[in-house]
A = this chain, B = another copy of it.
């Protein structure tokens, strides 16, 4: 996704921030601590390298996450939520509660662990 040069409404930005398939789960996975690229890759079942990189890049451009990279081999990069990302996390957690509610209502509680943290795994 190409990020637009100009937005005329905050909710347009919101849409661009969250519309990707993996954005909310990435924000959620980063809630407690820094994660390397491969940490994320292994904890999100079904995501491809390409998509993980791409979505992280977009989240960085919106100032939701940032990263620290070491130079030299093997490469090592840690991603983390910015303060804006932590705000985003609040919204994600509210929406997650809605998701949990929906699952309970539809008899799918067998997929839920204690905290609704069960993305594909």
CB A15 to nearest CB in B, in angstroms, measures 6
Q: How far is the CB of A110 from chain B (nearest CB, A)?
A: 9
Task: Report A30-67 CB contacts with B as 1/0, cut-off 8 Å.
Answer: 00000000000000000000000000000000110000
Tally chain A residues at the interface, Cβ within 8 Å.
44
Tell me if A28 is interfacial: C-beta within 8 Å of chain B.
yes
Which parts of A105-121 form the interface with B (CB within 8 Å)?
105-106, 108, 111-112, 116, 118-120
Q: How long is the Cα–Cα vector from A101 to B100 in the complex, in angstroms?
A: 29
Q: Is the CB of A96 within 8 A of B11?
A: yes
**Known contacts A13-B102, A62-B102, A63-B102; A95 and B7 CB within 8 A of each other:** no
